[in-house]
Amino acid sequence: LVFMRKGIQQEPLIVVSNFTPIVYHQYRIGIPLEGGYQEVWNSDNEVFGGSGVLNGGDILAQPISWHEQPYSISISIPPLSCCVFKRKET
């Protein structure tokens, strides 16, 4: 399940949830804006008792249209988890 939320500043947060016990690597999701993205929260982090499948570092948007969005990113989706991504400040 992937959805986008916007706050007061209109910067989108991308929320990705996986309700299966399967890890999905190189999973592509559509995003509205180009640039770099970062994972800001991941329920699979070991600090929360998870397995530690994280998306560290910069995740660069590619000009590949996906899910009716002009750009996309490729991420790892941990099992039984929820992850939140945001666009990096430019």
Average pLDDT for 68-83: 98
Q: pTM of the entire structure?
A: 0.92
Q: Which CATH class is domain 2-87?
A: mainly beta
Kindly state the tokens that stand for 69: 């969005």
When pLDDT is averaged across residues 58-71 and rounded to a whole number, the result is: 97
Residue 90: is its pLDDT beyond 90?
no
Closest CA to 56 of 29, 78, 75: 75
- Token code pair at residue 66: 């996906």
